[in-house]
């Protein structure tokens, strides 16, 4: 019960942060609020026993992505222009999608139900067998690096591809700018 109350409290802080992001025009404060959002998310992950996910989210979501976004707004613009269209149609679309998703949750088992289908198959197997198989205290580590090592290999491939993509997209930016300046003069 107390956990549910903490969860709901954290949620309301998250929703407030998200609504502030919707209305803010200065991109600097949008990016900072996005960092706050990530940190609150990390807290929520701790209440749901996902400590590994929490510190990854705190490091990656609140750290790296904030830095990347600050870099981007330094290169582009600091302010969002005022919206020209009304938000009624988007709101309608979002409300319908949300209602459909809520309808989808009605069939789901209660939060924390130990007999939910998700708790009955591979999860307990990993918990039971990893003591013998891996002899590592942290089950998340043994699944990540061994039972599901191929997932992690695929993830590494994605990160590598994205890194190459970013390099190709922004490489030579300074050189092109200098040439443009010379042409103008």
Which residues is 26 bridged to in the sheet?
A: 79
Among positions 88-147, residues that touch other proteins (CB under 8 A) are 90-91, 93-95, 97-98, 101-102, 105-120, 122-124, 126-127, 131, 135, 137-140, 143-144
Give dist(CA 172, CA 71) in Å, integer: 16
Nearer to other proteins, 85 or 181 (CB): 85
Instruction: Give residue 1's Cα distance to chain centre.
Output: 27
Residue 175 touching other proteins (CB under 8 A): no
Among 29, 129, 159, 179, the residue binding other proteins under the rule CB under 8 A is 159
Q: Is 121 helix (H, G, I), strand (E, B) or coil?
A: coil
Give dist(CA 90, CA 153) in Å, integer: 38
Among 29, 129, 133, 151, the residue binding other proteins under the rule CB under 8 A is 151
Minimal distance in Å, beta carbon 175 to other proteins? 12
The site string for other proteins over 4-43 (x = CB under 8 A, - otherwise) reads x--xx--x--xx--xx-xx----x--xx--x--xx--x--
Minimal distance in Å, beta carbon 178 to other proteins? 13
Give first-to-last CA distance, the chain, whole Å. 69
Q: Where do we find the tokens 């039972």?
A: 147
Give dist(CA 23, CA 92) in Å, integer: 18
């Amino acid at each position: 019960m107390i956990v549910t109350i903490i969860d709901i409290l954290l949620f309301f802080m998250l929703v407030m942060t998200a609504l502030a992001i919707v209305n803010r025009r200065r991109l600097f404060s949008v990016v900072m609020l996005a960092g706050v959002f990530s940190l609150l998310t990390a807290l929520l992950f701790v209440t749901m026993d996902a400590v590994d996910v929490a510190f990854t989210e705190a490091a990656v979501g609140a750290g790296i992505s904030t830095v990347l976004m600050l870099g981007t707004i330094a290169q582009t613009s600091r302010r969002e222009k005022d919206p020209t269209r009304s938000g009624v149609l988007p709101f309608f679309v979002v409300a319908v999608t949300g209602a459909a998703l809520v309808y989808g949750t009605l069939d789901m088992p209660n939060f924390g139900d130990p007999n939910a289908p998700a708790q009955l198959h591979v999860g307990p197997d990993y918990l039971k067998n990893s003591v013998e198989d891996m002899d590592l205290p942290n089950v998340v580590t043994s699944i990540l690096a061994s039972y599901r090592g191929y997932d992690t290999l695929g993830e590494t491939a994605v990160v590598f591809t994205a890194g190459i993509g970013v390099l190709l997209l922004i490489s030579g930016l300074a050189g092109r700018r200098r040439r443009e300046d010379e042409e103008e003069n």
